[in-house]
Chain A
Amino acid sequence: MSTITAVTLPTRSGLDLDVRPATEADAGILLEFFDRVSDEDRRFRFFAAAEHVSEAQLAPMVHADHFRTESWLGFNTATGELIASGLLACDGPLDTGEIAISVANAYKGQGVGWAMLDFLANQAKERGCRRAIAIESRDNHAAIELEREKGFVPEPFDGDPTMVVLSKSFR
């Protein structure tokens, strides 16, 4: 398994994204970041509708074990602004890695989510996962379409008509 400390990802819009793992020290900037994520995207990220992310919700993002779970922050290279958050959380046997991504509202539609998805899926693959999944609200059409374009296949989730799981197999 490779560990990445920092990497720069290009996006289709020309914006470059500096991506690094999050630490406990990043709690403050992550809380502020999620206030810049749209209400709807915050709801899609946590399946909860609160107007602000709580410290409890932030915990997995700042206390990753850097093994099964890794949390990344994406910064606009040009401005240093935090504009994306991505979490990869794998199960015990490292069979399935769940991906969850948020992009600041002002940076949507610029390929940031696309770049983060590629990156996190690759991280899951490099960890030896058989597949990566994203669990989405059926309402999250943008994410579902993006993931389908990236080869993720949608399936019903747990008999819940409000949700869908998109899965990409590596082997």
Chain B
Amino acid sequence: MSDAYRQTWDLSIKHPEAFWSQAARAIDWISPPDTTYDPDRGWFAGGTLNTTWNAVDRHVANGRGKDCALIYDSPVTDSVERWTYAGLQDEVGRVAAMLEVRGVRRGDRVVIYMPMIPQTVFAMLACARLGAIHSVVFGGFAAHELAKRIDDATPRVLLTASCGVEGSRTIAYKPLVDEALASARHEVESVLVLQRPQVAAELSAPRDHDWAALREETAHLPVPPCAEMAASDPLYILYTSGTTGTPKGVVRENGGHAVNLAWSMPAIYDIGPGDVFWAASDVGWVVGHSYIVYAPLLAGATTVLFEGKPVGTPDAGTFWRVIQRHKVKTFFTAPTAIRAIRKEDPDASFLQEIGTGNLKVIFLAGERADPETISWAEEHTCLPVIDHWWQTELGAPAIATCFGLGDTRRRRGSAGFPVPGNAFAILGEDGQPVPDGQSGAVVMREPLAPCAYRTLWNNPVGYAKNFTSFPGFYETGDAGHFDAEGFLHIMGRTDDIINVAGHRLSTGQMEQIVATVDGVAECAVIGADDALKGQIPIAFVIPRAGASDLKSLAPRVIAEVRSELGAVAALKTAFVVPQLPKTRSGKILRNVLRKIMNGEDFPPPPTIEDPGALHAIRSVAFPKAAA
């Protein structure tokens, strides 16, 4: 047992205000907080700060301007670029000036729909500098999804690039942006387009502006100062999947975010000033927000921005090359990435050849890391591989082995221990704690740690729902259990959210789309186990009586989901079936569908209306097995 972990956790739970007040000293405040926690005002009320000052400017002011802040490594464009803290400060300042000229002011929203390039990082930090609220939308989402977010966030400006580069493919972003803006009800004032050499985007004046031209036009302007932001002022909105098609806009606040992330870097990831940290994610997700952009910079470390894939760019050695080349000390990725590498290179030949350089530890998150994946990674890297758990709503890890506190305890299949500042309980259907070993709803005692959300954008009612089922607790939406040694195991969702390659997706949203396809009478979309991606969505469709062209129904369903949601949806399989398994009242028995697709036994539940439905579905999904 790590004494440091136990003492730290105990202090954080018994004396949370003292604990976080101490942690807050790692942040530069313009005005210090007058209280650490207030139930109405939140964390660090009365305190004012600027997140970009803390992430960038203060390091320059403290004499570390020449130290490396950001490394951009892009095997897909064959480029590696580095920015010092001083260089990053300049770039962020330029983008801030550009945004200010386009009318962006404190509190304005700025939607960022950009690939993994340095300008995306500059843009996020520039918004934070001005006190504007950025909302980064993952590039894998289709125009319709971008339009929804535009309508909810009502940005003044949208930032984009001419294209993303995925392996040998380029994906033009501007047509998607144009389509989204055409269908959105909200009118954006300006669109700033960074032209990449691979694709030239068409600009429509007066709305669209060339990024490079605007940068040049504003180069003479002074850098806007860092805005003085209240601790509770929003830093960003990040949309995450809800159980139906309406995305939830998680609002992150400046103060709690800065303090919590700054604390997490040394305590969890063992990262301090000058260390190199690499989170192989996308800035469109919370891991990218927290651990590509903000946390490493708040800690004065060097962060790696990687534009590529674990395999195919160019091969399964990519990750190890990046780690070796940049002397990465701590690496954070998703289990699906390790599985992809293992599939391409099961004997870890690339790893043997390239090595792991300065790497001390690998963290995994985004989905439960299956024991086999951890085992393979530990065996071949000879490093601790630590699964951990958190959510977009929380903004920072809530369950982990705090490697930075000297704790190395791990149990394959478990996410570790509650991180200091986070108190968990496992509750049964009656709202009472269940014994160790028994599964129940995973809940967290209020108040949540400082980085956690305190509202959803435009949806305080939706936010409050997560706190009503079990008074005094936040309902995570996951099921799990504590074991006898205190390891917390997260076993799966208690709703219909699935995790595909570390990406959180809503099967309900996919169903809404499938139900609109011509010829569909009824449908269900479930998440089935997948060896590579963890889970994949699978659609079951009952055709409308008299519908023609049944052969095209499944492909049309798949195409429609991709068109509406984007490639991120990853719906590649749809079955046309005669019936769905239902209870006598007509409720679809989704778990039975999962069992069929996962190859498990599927004894008919006693409540099923027609047990024959199960074999009818299995014979469609697995015709050879049924024969």
Contacts and interface: CB of A to CB of B under 8 A. Distances in A.
Nearest to A156: B429
Interface stretch (B108-116, B136-144, B490-498, B618-626): B490-498
A51 B586 CA distance: 16
Contact of A137 (B439, B495, B584, B589): B495
B495 A158 contact: no
Interface string A23-64: 000000000000000011001011111111011110111000
B168 interface: no
Contacts of B31: none
Interface in A122-171: 133, 135, 137-139, 141, 144, 148, 154-165
Interface stretch (B32-40, B187-195, B517-525, B555-563): B517-525
A39 B244 contact: yes
Contacts of B592: 158
B468 interface: yes
Given A89-B584, A138-B441, A48 B521 contact: no
A87 interface: yes
Interface residues of B, number: 44
Is the interface on chain A under 10, 10 to 19, 20 to 34, or 35 or more residues? Answer: 35 or more
A49 B511 contact: yes
B585 A50 contact: no
A39 B85 CA distance: 49
Given A98-B607, A135-B583, A138-B494, A160 B590 contact: yes
B468 A141 contact: yes
Contact of B584 (A50, A51, A98, A138): A98
B586 A158 contact: no
A154 B495 contact: no
A48 B592 CA distance: 14
Contacts of B548: none
B585 A98 contact: yes
Interface in A67-123: 69, 87, 89-91, 96, 98-100
B132 interface: no
A69 B493 CA distance: 33
A161 B586 contact: no
Contacts of A89: 583-585, 609
B430 A135 contact: no
B586 A46 contact: yes
A162 B523 contact: no
Contacts of B521: 54-56
B508 interface: yes
Nearest to A99: B585
B479 interface: yes
A133 to B, nearest CB: 7
A57 B495 CA distance: 21
Interface of B: 243-245, 428-430, 439, 441, 465, 468-469, 479, 491-496, 507-509, 511-512, 515-516, 521-524, 542, 583-592, 605-607, 609
